[in-house]
Structure 1
Amino acid sequence: MTAPRQPVPPFTRETALAKVQAAEDAWNTRDPERVAGAYTLDTVWRNRDEHLLGRDEVIAFLTRKWEREQDYRLRKNLWAFGDDRIAVRFQYEWHDADGQWWRSYGNELWEFDELGYMRRREASINDTRIDESDRHVTPGEGDLPTW
């Protein structure tokens, strides 16, 4: 049997905020295995125009993502929540192999099972080129500001 992944639904404001912070912390490790551990084995994702099914596809996707999005740093904010759902807005900064910096903005819709694992994730994301001098954060300086 799979152990619960706290906090579990139904969510309160406090537990939804904790779930969002845990996701932000995990994604900022850039460790595909660790991040994928928060999702059901048969998780369903839409990320931009990619559709993924299951943890193995999530791990492969995240591996490709963080090879391309170098020095990735993410900030997530709770937007809304319900019994087993959470909506977040986020922004992250990264640079490509040519050294071009980007800021990516988006929204995610999350749905959880009764044990607190995410069974569905839908993400819409837009990218904006930025100059390095326009970055909100440089390595070691902490989190991006909230919106």
Structure 2
Amino acid sequence: MDTSEQRPPLPPFTAETAAQKVRLAEDGWNSRDPDRVVLAYTPDTVWRNRAEFPVGREQARAFLQRKWARELDYRLVKELWAFSSHRIAVRFAYEWHDDSGQWFRSHGNENWEFLDNGLMARRFASINDQPIRAEDRKFHWPLGRRPDAHPGLSDLGL
């Protein structure tokens, strides 16, 4: 195994390491840095995200660049749903607004599959967008990593 391509924690996952992997993924996506985020995925990663099907890091990077150019002030919370040896299922919600100022809360589920080196080889996401009023937002931390004390999805009733 090429150790330069390791991304701990490594499978097989335990409840603790699966939860760590979920938080690391959340932190990465909250950075909104496509160059950083794609390093958690295999060079030939396969995604399904809504109606887009990026394959490989370059297509994933381009996808993320388009996503964060459109989904402004993006803040994400992920929660572990289930796991097995090399797979993790998560549920998530994120809030964002478009260029007209309309806020949304996007709810979804993801299924992830990892190689032994901890890189994600497959990511399948199903997402629904809910328009919300600005005063109904629940994610108010400064852009970037969600503070440890901020409530998770279950705590917020999401």
What TM-score, normalized by structure 1, do the two folds share?
Answer: 0.96
Correspondent of 1:83 among 82, 85, 88: 85
Q: Distance in 2 between matches of 1:41 and 1:77?
A: 25
Of all paired residues, the percent bearing the same amino acid is 58
Residue 139 of structure 1: how far off its partner (Å):
4.2
Task: Indicate the structure with greater helix content.
Answer: 2
Count of equivalent residues = 147
Alpha-carbon distance between aligned partners in 2 of 1:136 and 1:16, rounded to the nearest angstrom: 25
* Structure 2 unaligned blocks of 5 or more: none
Spell out, residue by residue over 1:101-133, the C-alpha distance to the aligned partner (whole angstroms, 9 max, x if none): 000000000000010000000000000000000
Aligned to 1:27: 29
- Give, in whole Å, the separation in 2 of the partners of 1:132 and 1:99: 9
Q: Distance in 2 between matches of 1:144 and 1:50?
A: 31
Partner Cα separation in structure 1 for residue 74 and residue 141 of structure 2: 9
Which one-letter code corresponds to 1:124 in the other structure? S
- Partner residue in 2 for 1:8: 10
Alignment of 1:83-122 (within 5 A): 83-122=85-124
1:97 aligned partner, one-letter code: D
Match of 1:73 in 2: 75
- Partners of 1:50 and 1:62 in 2: CA distance: 11
Looking at structure 2, the residues matched to 38 and 92 of structure 1 have their Cα atoms a distance apart, in angstroms, of 20
Structure 1 residues not aligned, in runs of 5+? none
Aligned-residue offset at 1:49: 1.1
Between the aligned partners of 1:144 and 1:130, the Cα distance in structure 2 is: 19
- Give the root-mean-square deviation of aligned CA atoms: 1.3
Normalized against structure 2, the TM-score is what?
0.89
Distance 1:3 1:124 in 2: 28
